Amino acid sequence: MADDIQSIENLLNFTGAKSTTKTASGIPTVHEAFEEKMSEVRLKEKEVEAENQAKTLGVPYVNLKGFPISPESLRQIPLEQAQELQTVCFLFTGPEIRLASINPDLQAAKDLLFQLQERNQANGGLYKISAESLRVALKAYETLPKIKQIIKGVKVTDEEIEQFGSQLKTYQDIQKVLSHASITDIMTIILSAALQFGTSDVHVEAEEEKIIVRFRVDGVLQEIATLPHDFWKKVVARIKLISGLKINVTERPQDGRFTIYLKSGDTDVRVSAIPTAWGESVVMRILKPSAINVNFEQLGFRAIAEKKLLKEILKPHGMIMTTGPTGSGKTTTLYAVLRKLNTPDVKVVTLEDPIEYKLEGVNQSQIDHSKNYTFANGLRSILRQDPDIVMVGEIRDLETADVAINAALTGHLMLSTLHTNDAAGAIPRFLSMGVKPFLLAPAMNAIVGQRLVRRVCEKCKETVQPNEEELVYVKKVIAEIPETSGEKIFTESEWKFYKGKGCDVCNGSGYKGRVGLYEILTMSDEIKAAMSESISEYQVRELAKQQGMITIQQDGVLKILDGQTTIEEVSRIAG
């Protein structure tokens, strides 16, 4: 290379070129040609130097000049972070990811590679590059739209929410705004709208001729927009990219997660994708911290039921179970109980799959089936931590049930959930798993069955007159409330029924927010005495009614008369 430089200098001296200007024809002078050649030689020297440094460090080397870096690769690292760490992602295929850095031995660069490998479940590598390669890669960012993604999530700014919020007054407005949006902005608009309308789940579904976007608001799905089917690959790639899913995997289910960063607080989003006939169905569950910041007193228990349950959860040991289908508010109830019990003088440990919400002062542990950290194994480990209160996300099998029951019998307060239709069904469910009735009876304190119904919108609430069929329904349910319940029932002449007529606050639905319907089964002496392997759900329910238990349906009707919900809602949810 030194010989090349000497040859050029000799040529320059021979011609006697001194000028630094172009000739009249615009052709560079010999001096300019020399400078250009010298620049190329210096760059070659720098590349050789970088290659030698890579050998010294024991890392691979790559020259990115002319390398086809894809937009998906660049989006793995925001421009600001790439500039700060002098590190770029130059290759991303889904299963493989490659980073290049000026300083590949920098710990921050190594940590970044580890994060991206974990997020994408990909094999990775870290390469050495020259300053010129870094410049070329950073220049490539100029060809991309503004990147809103960051390593652990998506940044929807407060300004964007305000901007779109002013245009999104109703569900119909979402379609109008989306129809003029770029692919880059579609996710921002959907998430902004979801946060504004209090959405719990966003469903993005591929169909034969279009993409459907639906929001679940107060437990009910609403179709809010459609997109052209041609957008599908780009839309789903964007969702997968920010949630750490493999873009090229479409034939099997995937689960991921990302975070929306706002000044008011971070919001986690859990993502599930499954293959369907026309593409995939993607559901994004928005885990807003405010959704579970509900105190025990705000759950919606009637005074007598609240007093009964409070007595059971304040016992030093035993089991408290919540039952109901998915989305019935079981987690919210358990977290409210934990918040009530969580004081500095007790140790509270939870075992969840997955951890959806963070609770201050509570030790939360997530199970990992790949490492054999199951509910049963995890619960055994937790009990060695000397906890006072333990919450297990769900009891699914005999092994977990046995450990939980033994813990409840040996001085621990156990909280958990079970998938049954009502409180009475929990006991036969345990027995069908193989739990011994003589162990279950003394271990169980209380079983809470629950559902969620929509509240009447307070802004547009008005009195209505039910039809004859609805009135017969209310009378029948009220007549079945046991006298031993202690509930005061108003006379028929005092009954009032309400409904929301629809307004801007409730988007015309007549409902805003939700309230729980509950039944609380406590283990009375009569139920314990009747406990056997052959006891049926019907027998348990009848014994509980004799002890004064208000059923979910009865609780719903009482809340209708309280003006909290409607006959249609209780009929839809509780039958």
Spatial distance between the Cα atoms of 514 and 566, rounded to a whole number of angstroms: 12
* 95 vs 84 pLDDT, higher one: 84
Minimal CA–CA distance to 452: which of 516, 500, 508, 359? 516
Tens digit of each residue's pLDDT (9 = 90 or more) over 50-83: 999 999 999 999 999 888 888 888 888 988 889 9
Mean pLDDT of 348-377: 86
Minimal CA–CA distance to 76: which of 95, 60, 99? 99
Average pLDDT, rounded, for the chain? 85
Quote the DSSP letter at residue 198.
T
Which residues contact residue 91 at a Cβ distance below 8 angstroms, ignoring those fewer than 6 apart? 69, 70, 73, 97, 98
Domain 291-574: assigned CATH number: 3.40.50.300
Q: Are 141 and 190 in contact (CB under 8 A)?
A: no
Mean pLDDT of 16-28: 49
* Residue 188: band (very low, low, confident or very high) from pLDDT cuts 50, 70, 90: confident
Q: Is the dihedral of CA 245, 246, 249, 250 positive or negative?
A: positive
Assign domain 153-287 one CATH number from 3.30.450.90, 3.40.718.10, 3.30.200.20, 3.40.50.10300. Answer: 3.30.450.90
Tens digit of each residue's pLDDT (9 = 90 or more) over 465-478: 999 999 999 999 99
* Range of weakest confidence among 91-95, 360-364, 528-532: 91-95
Specify the pTM: 0.70
Question: Does residue 160 surpass a pLDDT of 70?
Answer: no
Mean pLDDT of 235-261: 84
* Range of weakest confidence among 22-26, 331-335, 497-501: 22-26
Mean pLDDT of 206-226: 92
Spatial distance between the Cα atoms of 67 and 94, rounded to a whole number of angstroms: 18
Q: Which CATH class is domain 71-147?
A: alpha beta
Q: Is the dihedral of CA 459, 465, 470, 474 positive or negative?
A: positive
CA distances from 169 to 174, 176, 179, 203, 286 (A): 8, 11, 16, 20, 20
Tens digit of each residue's pLDDT (9 = 90 or more) over 391-442: 998 998 999 999 999 999 999 999 999 989 899 999 999 999 999 999 999 9
Structural domain spans, the chain: 2-57, 71-147, 153-287, 291-574
* 415 vs 38 pLDDT, higher one: 415
**pLDDT for residue 565:** 94
Question: Does residue 173 surpass a pLDDT of 90?
Answer: no
**pLDDT for residue 78:** 87
Tens digit of each residue's pLDDT (9 = 90 or more) over 286-317: 988 776 778 888 888 999 999 999 999 999 99
Q: Report percent pLDDT > 90 for the chain.
A: 47
Q: What share of the chain is helix, strand, coil (3-state, %, to 5)?
A: 45, 25, 35
* Residue 90: band (very low, low, confident or very high) from pLDDT cuts 50, 70, 90: very high
Cis before 354? omega within 30:
yes
* Range of weakest confidence among 12-16, 229-233, 270-274: 12-16
Amino acid at 357: Y
* Residue 244: band (very low, low, confident or very high) from pLDDT cuts 50, 70, 90: confident
Only one residue has tokens 């290659």, namely: 51
Question: Does residue 119 surpass a pLDDT of 70?
Answer: yes
